[in-house]
């Protein structure tokens, strides 16, 4: 039975066209993965509220409860909602509940006859599926309509929190380490078991290899290779157990609001969490697959090794072809079972991912793509790590100068390079499909934590891809040329030139494996972040489709809202009532990346004119002590209807001015 390719083909090192075509294709796909189509929502992001965000409601029209709608179902057990009114009054009356008519909505009954004033709402929810935490704050007011000062303060609080700003809510060292550890362990287990099945098993039974190499050397290389793969599998299983405990401890601590460093707070709570939440159920199944993999490993490694050693001890020689095939066949079966366990462990990760909570596409399709993506990166990383250990086995067993090193390495690299190329292509294609759900524009890519983390990941990936491509498309063909040449002195497999190539190849592969581990760190960061939302929070000035919200009084329906970006800052301007005569100008300055208010500008100046007329200067009052990032002022300088231009100039000592020009129209 010969499952390995016959004598490797001699590749000419002077053929750059294949290298250019393959690398160009892979890089093109990799870069395409950061351009996109509309993104899908991820995590339980707030969509709208009743009373609406930033609204001012008359006491007789106040609803009996506050309701929050999210883009996906929150877990009621670990969600919180609090409403604080004037003088610290707690406005909630009863327990937080899921809306029976809409599982994506939470509501909290309100106390009757609430006094007038500004009410601050704070919420924290855990997504039922991907278990990510989201939280934020907003405000609404109770009182007579038309009070511009009160309306401005309510809007200020509401607009700031309507983008609860940071997509880095879940980002912490605990989250990154937990995810990285589990990704690394899965990749090593799946990668080394697939390497054993598709590369090392065919090599171990290849009859032509027995004709090319000295029997003792070949047998030693084969056995040392299996031993190294077994050690890598054992390491991965140990990391999986540690990662399982770490992941459970981190997730439970986040949802229960306790420190991950305090194991005394866990107690029976963690056990109940495993039984009563979807994450816990999947995590228990994951533990079952890890334990099953550990059981399989004992047979996978120890039983087959014992058979080979027993044969050698009895006969004093290496096994013949028939006996060797019987031993390797048992190995194939057990390593196949180990690979199957690893693949299902990958699935448990996908079932707790963003893909499983994506309402925009088929969950089956999204989870499958995520699963294939994890499998592809596992084959790449785990395969390269396995190759590093196999190279060590070859170098230890084969004497330098004999030519066996070059021939053995070249024989293994032929099928291995095809396996890695297939996994990289699958990785890029599935990554491209997945990214289409997350990034909707170049601005989103460059200005959000998630987009910047994605850029870093792609950059590391491209660099690692270049490095690996150089090894397999430049050095490997040259090694093949040395391996099968007739000359044995200067250009043969035992020549110093061939030895230098092996050394260079080994160095590159070791660096590639380290870089892939670093890439997994960036994946840990990326999966800790909330992908940018493509649907804005509905405020009192806009309904779900951009129509006026139901809670806005007639006196405020003409308010004009303007928004723009200047460098690292987002400027939101409200002009009320945006008519000829007295107007209230309210400016909110936000950090464009985090969405949080920026309150350290000393001066906010307006310069505006109508149709190229006289330039008018007006300084807004710094009201950040009342509402962070809030600047306001009232004047009567909008003297006629028509088109106006207004430049906002933000100033603080020692820093260049921040400028942005709004264009708007005033009714006559």
pLDDT in tens, 221-239: 888 888 899 999 999 999 9
State the Cα–Cα distance between residues 458 and 28, nearest whole angstrom.
12
State the Cα–Cα distance between residues 129 and 220, nearest whole angstrom.
49
| 625 token code pair | 């002590």
Q: How far is CA 415 from CA 25, 30, 233, 409, 410, in A?
A: 21, 24, 21, 11, 10
Which pLDDT belongs to residue 543? 38
Answer whether residue 317 shows pLDDT above 60.
no
- Residue-wise pLDDT for 111-145, tens only, equals 988 988 888 888 888 887 777 778 888 888 887 75
Answer whether residue 100 shows pLDDT above 70.
yes
Q: How many other CB atoms are found less than 10 A from the CB of residue 257?
A: 11
pLDDT tier for residue 343 given thresholds of 50, 70 and 90: very high
Owner of token pair 């996994």: 423
645, with CB counted inside 10 A (0-12, 13-18, 19+), is middle
State the Cα–Cα distance between residues 54 and 116, nearest whole angstrom.
15
Bigger pLDDT: 147 vs 280: 280
Q: Strand 581-591 vs strand 630-638: parallel, antiparallel, or unpaired?
A: antiparallel
| 95 token code pair | 């327990």
- Residue-wise pLDDT for 202-218, tens only, equals 888 876 665 566 657 77
Residue range 70-84: mean pLDDT, rounded = 85
Residue range 577-600: mean pLDDT, rounded = 80
Which pLDDT belongs to residue 558? 62
Residue 514 DSSP SS3? helix
Which pLDDT belongs to residue 288? 95
Picking from 462, 536, 476, 540, the residue whose alpha carbon sits closest to that of residue 506 is: 476
- Residues recorded for the chain: 668
Q: Any bridge partners for residue 581, and if so which?
A: 638
Helix (H) or strand (E) holding 92: none
Which pLDDT belongs to residue 244? 93
State the Cα–Cα distance between residues 445 and 454, nearest whole angstrom.
8
State the Cα–Cα distance between residues 367 and 180, nearest whole angstrom.
20
Q: Any bridge partners for residue 88, and if so which?
A: none
CATH T-level assignment (fold) for domain 46-168: Immunoglobulin-like (2.60.40)
| 328 token code pair | 């390797």
Q: Are 548 and 556 in contact (CB under 8 A)?
A: no
Cα dihedral 92/98/101/102 (nearest 10): 110
CATH T-level assignment (fold) for domain 560-666: Immunoglobulin-like (2.60.40)
Q: How far is CA 360 from CA 38, 40, 103, 357, in A?
A: 10, 6, 17, 9
Which pLDDT belongs to residue 8? 36
Answer whether residue 160 shows pLDDT above 60.
no
Residue 649 DSSP SS3? strand
Helix (H) or strand (E) holding 363: helix 363-397
Q: Which residues contact 197 (CB under 8 A, 6 or more apart)?
A: 332, 335, 336, 339
DSSP result, 432-464: HHHHTTT---HHHHHHSHHHHHHHHHHHHHHHH
Bigger pLDDT: 486 vs 130: 130
167, with CB counted inside 10 A (0-12, 13-18, 19+), is buried
Which pLDDT belongs to residue 485? 65
Which pLDDT belongs to residue 376? 94
Q: Is omega for the bond preceding 101 within 30 degrees of 0, making it cis? A: no
Which pLDDT belongs to residue 232? 95
Per mean pLDDT, which range of 357-366, 456-465, 592-601, 654-663 is the poorest?
A: 357-366
Separate counts of helices (H) and strands (E) for the chain = 16, 16
Picking from 241, 238, 263, the residue whose alpha carbon sits closest to that of residue 252 is: 263
Residue range 310-338: mean pLDDT, rounded = 71
Q: Which residues contact 368 (CB under 8 A, 6 or more apart)?
A: none
Which pLDDT belongs to residue 328? 79
Which pLDDT belongs to residue 230? 92
Backbone angles phi, psi at 80, to 5 degrees: -135, 145
Bigger pLDDT: 88 vs 504: 504
| 561 token code pair | 């809202």
- Residue-wise pLDDT for 402-436, tens only, equals 777 888 888 888 899 899 999 999 998 988 887 77
Answer whether residue 107 shows pLDDT above 70.
yes
SS3 content of the chain, % helix, strand, coil (to 5): 55, 20, 30
Report the side by side order of strands in the sheet with 80-84. 56-57, 133-142, 117-126, 80-84
Q: Any bridge partners for residue 142, and if so which?
A: 57, 117
pLDDT tier for residue 32 given thresholds of 50, 70 and 90: very low
Q: Which residues contact 295 (CB under 8 A, 6 or more apart)?
A: none
- Residue-wise pLDDT for 556-565, tens only, equals 456 787 888 8
Picking from 409, 343, 332, the residue whose alpha carbon sits closest to that of residue 382 is: 343
Q: Any bridge partners for residue 81, and if so which?
A: 123
What is residue 115's DSSP assignment? P
Instruction: Give the chain's mean pLDDT.
Output: 77
Q: How far is CA 226 from CA 233, 235, 308, 346, in A?
A: 10, 14, 11, 24
Helix (H) or strand (E) holding 396: helix 363-397
pLDDT tier for residue 31 given thresholds of 50, 70 and 90: very low
| 372 token code pair | 């294939």
């Amino acid at each position: 039975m010969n499952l390995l390719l016959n004598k490797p083909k001699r590749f000419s090192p002077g053929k750059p066209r294949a290298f250019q075509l393959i690398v160009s294709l892979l890089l093109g796909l990799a870069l395409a993965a950061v351009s996109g189509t509309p993104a899908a929502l991820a995590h339980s992001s707030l969509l709208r509220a009743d009373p609406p965000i930033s609204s001012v409601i008359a006491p007789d029209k106040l609803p009996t409860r506050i309701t929050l709608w999210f883009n996906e179902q929150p877990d009621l057990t670990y969600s919180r909602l609090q409403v604080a009114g004037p003088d610290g009054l707690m406005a909630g009356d009863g327990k937080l509940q899921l809306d029976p008519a809409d599982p994506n909505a939470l509501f909290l009954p309100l106390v009757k006859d609430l006094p007038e004033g500004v009410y601050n709402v704070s919420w924290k929810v855990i997504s039922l599926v991907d278990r990510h935490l989201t939280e934020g704050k907003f405000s609404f007011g109770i009182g007579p309509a038309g009070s511009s000062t009160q309306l401005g303060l309510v809007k200020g609080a509401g607009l700031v929190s309507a983008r609860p700003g940071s997509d880095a809510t879940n980002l912490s060292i605990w989250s990154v380490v937990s995810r990285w550890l589990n990704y690394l362990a899965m990749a090593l287990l799946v990668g080394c078991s697939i390497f054993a099945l598709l590369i090392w098993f065919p090599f171990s039974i290849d009859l032509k290899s027995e004709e090319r190499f000295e029997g003792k050397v070949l047998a030693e290389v084969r056995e040392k290779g299996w031993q190294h793969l077994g050690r890598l599998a054992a390491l991965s299983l140990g990391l999986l157990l540690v990662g399982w405990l770490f992941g459970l401890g981190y997730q439970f601590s986040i949802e229960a609001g306790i420190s991950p460093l305090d194991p005394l707070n866990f107690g029976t709570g963690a056990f109940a969490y495993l039984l009563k939440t979807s994450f816990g159920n999947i995590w228990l199944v994951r533990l079952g697959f890890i334990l099953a993999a550990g059981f399989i490993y004992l047979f996978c490694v120890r039983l087959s090794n014992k058979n080979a050693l027993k044969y050698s001890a009895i006969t004093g020689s290496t096994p013949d072809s028939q006996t060797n095939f019987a031993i390797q066949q048992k190995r194939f079966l057990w390593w196949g079972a180990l690979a199957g366990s690893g693949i299902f462990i990958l699935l448990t990760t996908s079932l707790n991912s963003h893909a499983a909570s994506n309402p925009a596409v088929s969950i089956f399709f999204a989870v499958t793509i995520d699963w294939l993506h994890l499998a592809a990166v596992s084959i790449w990383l785990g395969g390269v790590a396995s190759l590093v250990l196999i190279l060590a086995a070859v170098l230890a067993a084969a004497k330098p100068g004999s030519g066996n090193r070059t021939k053995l390495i070249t024989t293994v690299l032929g099928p291995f390079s095809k396996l890695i190329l297939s996994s990289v292509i699958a990785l890029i294609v599935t990554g491209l499909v997945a990214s289409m759900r997350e990034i909707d524009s170049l601005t989103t890519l460059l200005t959000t934590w998630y987009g910047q983390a994605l850029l870093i990941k792609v950059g590391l990936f491209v660099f690692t891809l270049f490095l690996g491509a150089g090894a397999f498309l430049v050095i490997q063909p040259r090694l093949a040329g040395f391996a099968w040449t007739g000359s044995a002195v200067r250009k043969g497999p035992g020549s110093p030139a061939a030895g230098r190539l092996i050394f260079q190849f080994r160095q590159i592969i070791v660096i590639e494996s380290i870089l892939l581990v670093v890439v997994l760190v960036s994946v840990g960061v990326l999966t800790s972040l909330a992908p940018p939302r493509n649907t804005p929070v509905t405020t009192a000035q806009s309904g779900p489709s951009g129509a006026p919200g139901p809670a806005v009084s007639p006196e405020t329906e003409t308010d004009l809202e303007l928004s723009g970006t200047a460098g690292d800052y987002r400027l939101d301007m409200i002009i009320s009532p945006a008519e000829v005569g007295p107007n209230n100008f309210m400016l909110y300055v936000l950090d464009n990346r985090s969405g949080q208010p920026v309150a350290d500008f000393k001066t906010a100046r307006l310069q505006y004119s109508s149709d190229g007329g006289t330039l008018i200067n007006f300084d807004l009052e710094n009201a950040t002590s009342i509402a962070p990032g809030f600047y306001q002022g009232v004047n009567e300088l909008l003297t006629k209807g028509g088109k106006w231009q207004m430049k906002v100039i933000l100033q603080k000592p020692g820093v260049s001015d921040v400028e942005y020009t709004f264009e708007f129209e005033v009714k006559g």
